[in-house]
Amino acid sequence: MKNYNIVFCETNSTLLSNAVGFFSEDLEMNLIPCETQKDVDEIEVDAVHALIIDESFPGVRDIINHYHELGTRIVLVARFTEVSERYGFDYPYDILLYKPYSLLEIRMRLLKSFVQQSMVIKLNTTKNIDERLSNIFIRAGIPPHIKGYQYLREAVKLSIVEPDLINSITQKLYPSIARLHGTTSSKVERAIRHAIEVAWNRGKIENINAIFGIKIYNKGDKPTNGELIALVADKIMIETM
């Protein structure tokens, strides 16, 4: 049984046929092709996980709003000139693609989006995520009253939801935390670095190694902000999945 129902709305019969052929043997995604608004109205599945729709498709606004209210992932396809002229769209979407596009790219981006959405749901429904993070940081010697403790928790949770953030700490991760706490990226970076320094000065290296089950650090091997965030995020993801 396939995991995801994907509605594909496209008036170009060639593009629609290519999509049907591409997804015909896909083990994860069930493609539901729609060439008219009537086709959309006649869909009979329990859940639609993603909607791929051309900006020029008849009834596009109503279709997008309907599925957005159901929590469906929206992939909007448009021509670059249309986007340039309009400076965006006044209805919601999760992924924006320009023509010409790759069906493989759509598939990869959808799978990534589904995984991230699943992690968000788990983070929101698993009550002990914060408790696990607290246990890790306290055992590591990071006191909960310092700002770096709070910023580290946010950094780990954001990195779980969107793993690519760990590769853009300065450009994306720190600014995201700063917006949440009404501060600056530089203050977030310094507070996290200070929290790590506090832990190392307390000499709880063995506790930190015990948390991960292997000897990762010696006394002089203090991790960078990114290294510690990535390690803790990986541990929580493994325990949660």
In a domain, 226, yes or no: yes
Q: Same domain, yes or no, for 102 and 165?
A: no
* The predicted structure's pLDDT at residue 131: 81
d(CA 16, CA 6): 13
Q: Write down which residue in 116, 145, 175 finishes a domain.
A: 116
Residue with the two structure tokens 């006044």: 90
The range of the structural domain enclosing residue 208 comes to: 129-240
Lowest average pLDDT, out of 75-84, 133-142, 180-189, goes to: 75-84
CATH number at residue 225: 1.10.10.10
Residue 103 and residue 135 in one domain: no
User: Is the confidence at residue 82, as pLDDT, over 50?
Assistant: no
pLDDT digits (tens, 9 = 90+) for 143-173: 889 999 999 988 988 888 777 788 889 988 8
Q: Specify the amino acid at residue 34.
A: C
Looking at per-residue confidence, does 33 or 129 come out higher?
Answer: 33
**Which residue, 116, 140, 170, sits at the end of a domain?**
116
Same domain, 111 and 43: yes
Number of domains in the chain: 2
Residues 112 and 213 in one domain: no
Neighbours of 43 (CB within 10 A): 11
What distance in Å separates the CA atoms of residue 109 and residue 117, rounded to the nearest whole number? 12
Closest among 89, 63, 72, 231 to 160, alpha carbons compared: 231
pTM here is 0.52
Same domain for 68 and 157, yes or no, is no
Asked whether residue 232 falls in the same domain as residue 152, the answer is: yes
- Give the residue carrying structure tokens 């994907």: 6
Q: Which two tokens stand for residue 18?
A: 């290519």
